[in-house]
Amino acid sequence: MRYIDFIDFKYEPEETDVVCTFYVQPEGVSIEEAAGGVAAESSIGTWTELTTTKSYVQKLAARVFSIERNNVKIAYPIELFEPRNMPNILSSVSGNVFGLKTLKNLRLNDIHFSSELIKSFKGPKYGIGGVRKLLKVSDRPLVGTIIKPKLGLKTLDHAKVAHEAWVGGCDIVKDDENLSNQRFNPFEDRVIKTLESRDRAEEETGERKVYMVNITAETREMIKRAEFVLSRSGEYVMVDILTCGFSALQTLLEQDFNLIIHAHRAGHAAFTRNPKHGISMRVIAKIARIIGVDQLHVGTVVGKMFETREEVAENCEALKEEMSGLKRVFPVASGGLHPRLVPALIEFFGKDFVIQAGGGIHGHRDGTVAGAKAMRQAVDATLGAISLREYAKEHRELKTALQIWEQHA
């Protein structure tokens, strides 16, 4: 079969097919030949005709069934894939095809998994409903912070900052994505001391609090760290899902720990930033949800991250849309956030998301407690349909925060 033989505009995808939407920019060939090359090289074909192909193999060919300008849709028979094996699926649809000479650019913009494939994975254990049940917060966004500075604090100072954030009003405290088991803040000591801070904060505030400790490591070590968190009455862990890999994430979830999985997307922009080449965040979000995370960073619309409003909306949709009965996953907004941005965040995300602010809390001139209070006050004001400026007249912490970040609205 030649590349062009993988084009079939009359084909209607089967219910069990995996359907991928690509942006295809040809290099020296027609869009049809370039698209056919993607379908061929990601299924049963190659650059030349073969003498080894049998007639029964041809039914496994991927089919290009739609080309609109540079947007190409390809259907893959489910028989091409091993169930419950995400690396196998991705090695096929987003593997060697990115290196083809006939392509100047290629981007996997969306992927539709069949119900049969989705149900072979675990999916989220908790999702939005389970997280809200644990925290006993049902009617507002969750408020979280990242310990800052992201690296360098010794264990006792780390635990102290966490306590201040919780007492000020944060529901969540999490490690930064590059805090692991460094000498200045060893993993086990950090878990013990920070969870002790959590317990004190719960007693002082009467609210449920959670600590997301970063367990990202080699897979066996990651499992050991998850077990240690459980042994110390921890309820949450954080995993850098792209740098540790989807197979490691899946192995962790196969242990079926009673732990909520917060997924950090460190490194995603290497795949997602170029609008013409790579893999979209929407695809990464779908994969993470199918494997089984409960929360995932999706971008902010406002703040310091690069994604467009449309892209962030697509990422959120991937976490919440109906997908073969999978639980909905909490979108996490993080990156350059502060109290002034809360009205815009809630207008865009609604109530079902996590506000994760680092510098926007710890950068408050009156300290972390005041920064956390200001963030909660901004949420309360917005949900009460009161302007931040008006609410700040009676709330000193918010008033100061609005002054600090006046130039960053």
- Residue 299, pLDDT > 80, answer yes
| Mean confidence (pLDDT) of the chain | 95
Question: Is domain 3-118 annotated with CATH 3.30.70.150?
Answer: yes
pLDDT of residue 406: 87
CB atoms within 10 A of CB 302: 23
**Residue 248 vs residues 217, 241, 251, 308: alpha-carbon distances, Å:** 9, 8, 5, 30
**Residue 9 vs residues 45, 80, 111, 143: alpha-carbon distances, Å:** 18, 21, 19, 49
Distance CA 326, CA 320 (A): 9
For 132, the token pair is 């809200």
Q: How confident is the model over 40-51, as a mean pLDDT?
A: 81
pLDDT of residue 408: 67
- Residue 18, pLDDT > 70, answer yes
Catalytic residue among 73, 174, 193, 264: 264
Q: How confident is the model over 159-175, as a mean pLDDT?
A: 98
Full-model pTM? 0.95
Residue ranges matching CATH 3.30.70.150 in the chain: 3-118
Catalytic residue among 73, 148, 297, 395: 148
Residue ranges matching CATH 3.20.20.110 in the chain: 127-408
E strand or H helix at 293, and its extent? none
Active site residue 148: yes
Q: How confident is the model over 314-341, as a mean pLDDT?
A: 96
Domain 127-408 CATH class label: alpha beta
Question: Is the N-terminal amide bond of 124 cis, ω within 30° of 0?
Answer: no
- Residue 140, pLDDT > 70, answer yes
Smallest CA-to-CA distance from 2 within 33, 24, 42 is with: 33
CA torsion sign, 82 to 111 to 35 to 62? positive
Active site residue 264: yes
Residues 6+ positions from 342 with CB-CB distance below 8 Å: 355, 375, 378, 379, 381, 382, 388
Q: How confident is the model over 339-367, as a mean pLDDT?
A: 97
pLDDT of residue 409: 60
Percent of the chain predicted with pLDDT > 70: 98
- Residue 2, pLDDT > 90, answer no
Strand partners, 71: 23, 68
